[in-house]
Amino acid sequence: MAKIVIDGVEYEVNPDNNLLQECLSQGLDLPYFCWHPSMGSVGACRQCAVKQYRDEDDKEGMLVMACMTPASDGAIISLEDEQAKSFRSDVIESLMISHPHDCPVCEEGGECHLQDMTQMSGHNYRRYDKKKRTHRNQYLGPFINHEMNRCITCYRCVRYYDDYAGGTDLSAQASHHHVYFGRHEEGVLESEFSGNLVEVCPTGVFTDKAFSQHYSRKWDLQTAPSVCVGCSVGCNTAPGERYGTLRRIVNRYNSEVNGYFLCDRGRFGFDYVNSRERLLEPVKRVDNTGELLADDEIKAVIKEFSREGTIGIGSPRASNESNFALKTMVGDENFFAGYSDSESESMAAVLTLASDKAFHSPSVRKIEEADAVLILGEDVTNVAPRIALALRQSVRNKAMDLASESRIPQWQDAAVRELAQHERSPLSILSPAVSRLDDIAADRVIESLPALVAMGHQIANKISGSAPAATSPEHDAVAEKIAAQLKGAKRPLIVAGSSNGSELIKAAANIARALHEDGEDAAIDLCLLVPEVNSIGMGLMAAEENSLGVALDKLSSGAAKRVIVLENDLYRRAAKSQVDSALDKAEKVLVLDQVTTATTAKADVILPVTAFSEHEATYINYEGRAQLSFQVHQCQKMAQPAWRWISDAAHIDDLVERCCSEAPGFAKLRDVLPGENPFIAGMKVPRQSHRYSGRTAMIANVNVHEPKQMEDKESIMSFSMEGISAQKDPSIMASPWAPKWNSNQSISKFQDEVNGELKQGHVGSLLFEKTASGSYFDVPAVAAQPSGKQLHLALSYQIFGSDELSARAEPIRERMTDAYVGICPEDAQSRGLAQGDVATITPTGAPVVVCIRTGVKPGTALLYCGDANISPAEFTGLLEIEKSAAQATSRGISSLIVSDFQEEEI
């Protein structure tokens, strides 16, 4: 620690930080633009000037940029010095010269960092009365608006988009007062993380396009702390509602999980909550039409389904509470997994490994700390996007080491990058096709899935001779190199997932176990990705032998008469014929879901379920981290949380308590609930801000009488602006705000230090206990080789489309492609297929678009199943493709963003 003096007051600070970081960490107000907590300093905007003095006798001092000056021991600085204050005020005046007077119509107004900083630095009268420079804006796709006139050229957008997120299609153009941030021509921003521009831009150049369409000010949105349900990472979010519709999602800081950033699926994929496809009334099927169920009829249905002979199928996209309620209702032995049988196998491996002392499942933040990474067969960008962003940061650890050697502080962003050039920590990708992370990969091997499994085992064997041997002679040298890199690393990380069966997971585990043996028994980071928000939670609840296949067989054979399907479209999980025969044979089918699906079409009774923003729930992410998501707003119609339909629990806390004591593995779930006495003076935490406007007038067009505020009898939060605001307790804070800080940058007021944990902690609860000591998996028997026209199959996923619910959101739809099959040019030629042709695949005969990619392994076909029609469970390891006479549909594959799309020669 070091001691510095700021305006006569002594502070204990970390000398590795710069003065701006420390001023903010100490709770002081100092304006800045170009600095961002996750991106370090470049000293471009000159806004954070302070006076620094040589020693106590120095009365003159000199102006320095706080963000470029280390907080070294004995430093004496002043924020309040008149010269420093007037310098900051002059800088902002010049930055603001061409900024339009459009705050009243700007989407950023009210949460604008530029507004806050202008106020803070005291520039309140514009002297410049000449012509302002203006720009033409670009169309940037369905997510982001562009309004370049508002730009103050802080360069944060390109530093985030290019340097941090690895984007290539946004650049700084022109010079001096013409500087322009945009694409080389209009078009969709390609990065999967483009939405963060909305929060990174300190003003309104990049704004949320879908939000603009039904806009509301930040303070008029009802908000609560929520968790993204788009994938298994469980990023923390703050959804905002007004007039009964969900309007937008912004990031909510969690130091261990998402930090400051979300992916575009998470940010723009919520619109299905408002959609017409939502189920909002309890209905029964009478002669193929739906008929509204009366209350007593619902009771009768529940009673009927409580009898012997009922089985329940859980859901990886439903909460722990709803899965637990169903499991309790039907009994442990009648509760079945709601994912495919292949995924059941993978999940069994994942859960076994989760309790193994040899491994550690790293949080997103820990992933960023890895100094050698191996990705085995998983397309991280499309399966768990936020982790791909973290992996991009991990390769910079080499640069950080080089900087330390040269005594350059890590926050000196431009200097560290200049020093490191192309030096990166090793990241190796073994996959069936090129991926969106290839640009940072030191080594990549493109192989068929069986060959990747063999190579994984080969690497494990090279690290430790006690791992079972496997050979992959073609890639021996690369395997040797990767093994050496992992062995030599301080914090190696192995990434795999359940996208293509359990064998890759097992191979990855063997590599990690070999490192564990080699590395004096330290737990090795093994990140195993699963597809959905609560795959782990449901996996923990369903007995291993209770797979979906068994459930469907029970129905088909008549061993079970009735089935309750919880928030699940079984047609995405198993072969169509299998689901058809099970549901046709079942006497009665009860489906609880949020939206209409192929499964609800087969239901005798449908009970409508609330969406993620309409109920309180807990979910468990890929690393076993349980997190609580609060209700944001009420469902205007009759939907309820699934557990409420099928259990007599009065409160989610009751279910959590019961789940803790009854379900194995859930003992620590109660830690996510708010503390014993969360209320200050007995008052609840308001979901509406103290500036929430129009409460008495919001429905005046319907009724001039102001209705009573809706009560929330269960939660510690209220649907009101009254109560004690959560600002002092970040664990129940959706939207940070502090005096003078209306933008998301106010988060520094709630962190124990910049980039640190929130002051009262809110990182969720890790459920897994490390108790077991496992052993190596065996190398699998040689997989079936393709014969004739067959190809190896590798299932492929898309960030926009593979997730069932976000695929129904309008902005996401604009970015989706049809189901496609990705093959290399030689395989296409030998089948007479051209780019964009329609082909049929066996065994299902479903039509798919042909996508010829130069980076696909010859002899392998990537299959992306689209968002509806093809179930991945139809296929085993091999696939045949034949040309079809059918026409491509309108969507086609034009919005596919891959680097190896084969184009016509010029």
What is the C-alpha to C-alpha distance for residues 10 and 3, in angstroms, rounded to an integer?
Answer: 7
Should residue 650 be labelled a site residue for another protein when binding is judged by CB under 8 A? no
Judged by beta carbon, residue 289 or residue 421, the one nearer another protein is: 421
CB of 157 to another protein, least distance (A): 12
Judged by beta carbon, residue 191 or residue 485, the one nearer another protein is: 191
Which span sits near another protein by CB under 8 A: 13-21, 162-170, 511-519, 786-794?
162-170
Report the sign of the C-alpha dihedral through residues 722, 724, 725, 726, in that order.
negative
Which of 56, 82, 185, 296 is the binder for another protein (CB under 8 A)? 185
Window 677-696: contact mask with another protein (x via CB under 8 A): --------------------
What is the C-alpha to C-alpha distance for residues 567 and 598, in angstroms, rounded to an integer?
Answer: 12
**Where is 264: in which H helix or E strand?**
helix 264-268
Should residue 186 be labelled a site residue for another protein when binding is judged by CB under 8 A? yes
CB of 174 to another protein, least distance (A): 4
CB of 175 to another protein, least distance (A): 5
CB of 562 to another protein, least distance (A): 41
What is the C-alpha to C-alpha distance for residues 727 and 155, in angstroms, rounded to an integer?
Answer: 31
Which of 99, 113, 183, 218 is the binder for another protein (CB under 8 A)? 183
Should residue 172 be labelled a site residue for another protein when binding is judged by CB under 8 A? yes
What is the C-alpha to C-alpha distance for residues 279 and 767, in angstroms, rounded to an integer?
Answer: 33
Should residue 287 be labelled a site residue for another protein when binding is judged by CB under 8 A? no
Judged by beta carbon, residue 183 or residue 265, the one nearer another protein is: 183
Which of 174, 650, 710, 772 is the binder for another protein (CB under 8 A)? 174
CB of 423 to another protein, least distance (A): 12
Should residue 187 be labelled a site residue for another protein when binding is judged by CB under 8 A? yes
Should residue 900 be labelled a site residue for another protein when binding is judged by CB under 8 A? no
CB of 894 to another protein, least distance (A): 10
485: helix, strand or coil: helix
CB of 275 to another protein, least distance (A): 12
Judged by beta carbon, residue 213 or residue 636, the one nearer another protein is: 213
Interface with another protein in residues 805-824 (CB under 8 A):
810-811, 814
Which span sits near another protein by CB under 8 A: 127-135, 163-171, 376-384, 712-720?
163-171
What is the C-alpha to C-alpha distance for residues 687 and 732, in angstroms, rounded to an integer?
Answer: 10
**Where is 457: in which H helix or E strand?**
helix 449-463
Judged by beta carbon, residue 207 or residue 310, the one nearer another protein is: 207
CB of 900 to another protein, least distance (A): 13
What is the C-alpha to C-alpha distance for residues 268 and 439, in angstroms, rounded to an integer?
Answer: 26
Count of residues engaged in binding another protein, rule: CB under 8 A: 25
Sheet of strand 492-497: strand arrangement: 359-360, 524-529, 492-497, 372-376, 427-431, 443-446
Judged by beta carbon, residue 154 or residue 793, the one nearer another protein is: 154
Should residue 876 be labelled a site residue for another protein when binding is judged by CB under 8 A? no
Should residue 168 be labelled a site residue for another protein when binding is judged by CB under 8 A? yes
Judged by beta carbon, residue 161 or residue 820, the one nearer another protein is: 161
**Cβ 322 vs Cβ 564: under 8 Å:** no
Residue type (1 letter), 441: A
Which of 127, 131, 307, 422 is the binder for another protein (CB under 8 A)? 422
Judged by beta carbon, residue 175 or residue 288, the one nearer another protein is: 175
> Which DSSP string do the residues of 555-596 spell out, in sequence order?
HHHTS--EEEEES--GGGTS-HHHHHHHHHHSSEEEEEESB-
Peptide bond into 409 cis (omega under 30): no
Window 200-239: contact mask with another protein (x via CB under 8 A): ----------x--x--------------------------
Angle of helix 476-488 relative to helix 449-463, nearest 10 degrees?
50
Which span sits near another protein by CB under 8 A: 96-104, 181-189, 524-532, 600-608?
181-189
Should residue 245 be labelled a site residue for another protein when binding is judged by CB under 8 A? no
Judged by beta carbon, residue 173 or residue 829, the one nearer another protein is: 173
Those residues whose C-beta lies under 8 Å from the C-beta of residue 421, and which sit 6 or more positions away, are none
Which of 171, 634, 835, 902 is the binder for another protein (CB under 8 A)? 171
Should residue 889 be labelled a site residue for another protein when binding is judged by CB under 8 A? no
**CA-based R_g, the chain, Å:** 28
Alpha helices in 593-737 (DSSP H): 642-646, 652-662
Token digits for 252?
């909510």
Judged by beta carbon, residue 168 or residue 889, the one nearer another protein is: 168
Judged by beta carbon, residue 205 or residue 721, the one nearer another protein is: 205
Judged by beta carbon, residue 36 or residue 209, the one nearer another protein is: 209
Judged by beta carbon, residue 181 or residue 820, the one nearer another protein is: 181
Should residue 392 be labelled a site residue for another protein when binding is judged by CB under 8 A? no
Those residues whose C-beta lies under 8 Å from the C-beta of residue 224, and which sit 6 or more positions away, are 238, 239, 630, 631, 632, 687, 717, 734
Which span sits near another protein by CB under 8 A: 173-181, 587-595, 758-766, 842-850?
173-181
Which of 16, 28, 38, 180 is the binder for another protein (CB under 8 A)? 180
| DSSP-derived pairing of the beta strands 838-842 and 443-446 | unpaired
> Which DSSP string do the residues of 359-390 spell out, in sequence order?
EE---HHHHTT-SEEEEES--HHHHSHHHHHH
What is the C-alpha to C-alpha distance for residues 450 and 877, in angstroms, rounded to an integer?
Answer: 9
Should residue 159 be labelled a site residue for another protein when binding is judged by CB under 8 A? no
795: helix, strand or coil: strand
Q: How far is CA 573 from the centre of its chain?
A: 22
Angle of helix 548-557 relative to helix 341-354, nearest 10 degrees?
140
Interface with another protein in residues 558-587 (CB under 8 A):
none
Which of 286, 702, 781, 906 is the binder for another protein (CB under 8 A)? 906
What is the C-alpha to C-alpha distance for residues 607 and 585, in angstroms, rounded to an integer?
Answer: 21
Beta strands in 70-160 (DSSP E): 76-78, 144-146
Judged by beta carbon, residue 265 or residue 615, the one nearer another protein is: 265
Should residue 438 be labelled a site residue for another protein when binding is judged by CB under 8 A? no
Those residues whose C-beta lies under 8 Å from the C-beta of residue 871, and which sit 6 or more positions away, are 340, 571, 572, 573, 574, 575, 576, 865
Should residue 184 be labelled a site residue for another protein when binding is judged by CB under 8 A? yes
CB of 164 to another protein, least distance (A): 16
CB of 504 to another protein, least distance (A): 31
What is the C-alpha to C-alpha distance for residues 531 and 318, in angstroms, rounded to an integer?
Answer: 13
CB of 398 to another protein, least distance (A): 17
DSSP assigned state of 530: -
Token digits for 841?
């695949």
| DSSP-derived pairing of the beta strands 562-566 and 310-313 | parallel
Should residue 169 be labelled a site residue for another protein when binding is judged by CB under 8 A? yes
**Cβ 373 vs Cβ 453: under 8 Å:** no
Which span sits near another protein by CB under 8 A: 64-72, 167-175, 484-492, 692-700?
167-175
Judged by beta carbon, residue 205 or residue 833, the one nearer another protein is: 205
Should residue 102 be labelled a site residue for another protein when binding is judged by CB under 8 A? no
Which of 39, 114, 117, 170 is the binder for another protein (CB under 8 A)? 170
**Cβ 557 vs Cβ 571: under 8 Å:** no
Interface with another protein in residues 116-145 (CB under 8 A):
139, 142
Residues near another protein (CB under 8 A): 139, 142, 168-175, 180, 183-188, 210, 213, 421-422, 810-811, 814, 906
